[in-house]
Amino acid sequence: MKLAIITLSNFALSYAWQWNEGPFQNRLVGSSFGIPNQDATYDYVVIGGGTAGSAIAARLAEDGTASVALIEAGGFPWEDLGNQTEVPGYTWRFEAFANLSDTNPTVDWDLETAPQQNLGGRSIHYTAAKTFGGGSSLNDMGYHRVTKGTMNLWADLVGDDSYTWSKFLPFYKKSTTYTPIDSVPDESVNFDYHKPGPLQVSYPPHRQPTNPFLSRAFEKLGFGKMLGNNGGLLNGYAYWTYYQDPEAHTRSSAATAYLGQALKHNHGQGLHLYPRTQAQKIVIEGGKTRAVIAQTAGSNYTITASREIILSAGFIHSPQILMLSGIGPASTLRKQGIEVVVDLPGVGSNWQDQPYVFTLLETDAETDSAIITDPARLERARRQYIESRSGPLTSPGFDLVGWEKFPPSYRSRLSPQALALLDSFPSDWPDVEFIGAGLAAGNPADPTNNRLFALVAGLLVHDSVGNISLTSGDIRDPPVLNMNLLTTTTDRELAVAAVRRVLQLADSTGIVTNKLNPTDALIGSDIQLLEWINENVVFGYHGSSTCKMGKQGDRSAVVDSKARVYGLEGLRVVDASVLPFCVPGHPSATIFALAEKIARDIHCSYQICSVTGGGDHDEL
């Protein structure tokens, strides 16, 4: 078998083999695609083929009774970037972070924030996927669930106990199939489910050489060892689970899992994909959404929904499309000459994301950074992967993650305002996340250094809130992204504490010989350290809440607990934009589960189903 970075001529070719054998051998490949520039009608139209959009479209089409159009502005990741999105060890190639020139325009919207005054006027690149599978096709592949208290808070805020941990957990389970391996504690108890889900969750066979040292550091600082990150508790340290095929050791994503499964089996006959097609606006008549104006190759046409439209364009583009369709803050719409259909002030507001800081360290042992800094090592790793699906390319480059609330020695130095903010979150909500990354590079003084290691601190408690607004009434003009990162005094204070803690973790590993960024000279005082943070902080790229879910009467809410847009019939929003808050850690597992839940809610709107679940629409 050979591994090559190639570009397929189109998505259909990549799946042709599946339809040339077995019971589907007579099915035409092109039957899975809509015809561009030709008006069409479907039961459901889904705008956005990302994590949530691909999952919900596949579920709505799976019983073969409904027709579904899935519109995606991008193409297919393997078509645009060959195997770079499929091989776990290549994930670092998509981590543009603060580098405005390091983007992948075929799969990324190439957006940047407005200048952040509190960060010295910096604009930060915001990675936003433009490809089938969305973020699940490009991100670091880490899968974890939130805490029990997180989901119970969600249920309280939206007035719906179906979001409590015990009732939401089955949707987490429904989306996945878990495969344990011998070298990591078996977490099957957290994935037990009566049938396999589309998303493969497992571990790479390769272990980071820094794991023993990082484990020792966690334990030295009082972190307990957890079974895993999926039982509703995030307090301690554990091995990551990844959405990764346990045999091929390739990425499992919304595109490969949900769409791949849908297109391979009979239920995909009702699903039509519209790649490289952008939704221009939603057509609304008499208080009901009727159709989507779509554009492919510069030509507009109409895709009508006889039942519902599901907007899953992501936390940036979902509010943009709503506003361009006349749904949003009346003052913003009138400023752009857009007729106000529904005045919803919450559209585009409440943008929440997590500040992350990367520290770069030099160690006294070789790390997996060698596959980035040493071409010969990368070639050896490629041969390992090709010949035996082993070696560092089977891993996204980080194994261990730690979660904690600041210990007493840190809390004692915090202001009353910072303590009040920390205490306003659920008791099991972690304050900080720590990640050890062996795939690290970036020492300009010695670009061939293969002893590099990154420790990452993510601040999971914060109160800075941003917004997204229109620059014009044209979908082609990117919206204004005003994050307001670290704008509050408490956020800045907590960011300093988080970096102090991660540097303490680094010192506790016993292998760090040199701090490359920040250097010791930059961390002498909190003022110096904050200055370094302002120059280096980036997002977690976990943006959320710009169309937030909330109770009737909450003027900041955009959708109800079933993701239905207030003031309209036939329109739902299902993606990270509807989260009532930015969940602790990485949201993709929760987005998959949310898509499963809302798909069940939609099915229940049109057919009989039980009140307790959503397996094949009527049971979990």
Q: How far apart are CA 272 and CA 305, in angstroms?
A: 13
Q: How far apart are CA 315 and CA 322, in angstroms?
A: 11
pLDDT of residue 374: 87
pLDDT of residue 436: 95
Instruction: Check for a shared fold between 11-77+253-350+545-598 and 206-239+355-459+486-536.
Output: no
**Which of 125, 267, 462, 542 is flagged as catalytic?**
542
pLDDT of residue 170: 97
Query: Domain 206-239+355-459+486-536 in CATH: superfamily?
Result: Glucose Oxidase, domain 3 (3.30.560.10)
Q: How far apart are CA 245 and CA 309, in angstroms?
A: 32
**Which of 125, 272, 317, 586 is flagged as catalytic?**
586
For residue range 221-241, list pLDDT tens digits in order.
999 999 999 999 999 999 999
CATH fold for domain 11-77+253-350+545-598: FAD/NAD(P)-binding domain (3.50.50)
Find the angle CA(453)-CA(223)-CA(437) to the nearest 5 degrees: 15
In the residue annotation, 586 being an active-site residue is answered as yes
pLDDT of residue 101: 55
Q: Are 397 and 438 in contact (CB under 8 A)?
A: yes
Q: How far apart are CA 150 and CA 542, in angstroms?
A: 16
Which positions of the chain have pLDDT values less than 70? 1-29, 94-103, 266-268, 441-445, 447, 608, 610-620
In the residue annotation, 603 being an active-site residue is answered as no
pLDDT of residue 94: 67
Reported pTM:
0.94
- DSSP string across 36-62: TTS-EEEEEEEE--SHHHHHHHHHHHT
Domain map (residue ranges) of the chain: 11-77+253-350+545-598, 206-239+355-459+486-536
- DSSP string across 227-273: S-S-SS--SEEEEPEEEB-TTT--B--IIIIIIHHHHHSGGGGGEEE
pLDDT of residue 29: 60
For residue range 184-199, list pLDDT tens digits in order.
999 999 998 888 999 9
Q: At what angle do helices 489-508 and 211-220 cross, to 10 degrees?
A: 120
Question: Strands 327-328 and 142-143: what pairing?
Answer: unpaired
Q: Are 595 and 332 in contact (CB under 8 A)?
A: no
Find the angle CA(360)-CA(364)-CA(365) to the nearest 5 degrees: 95
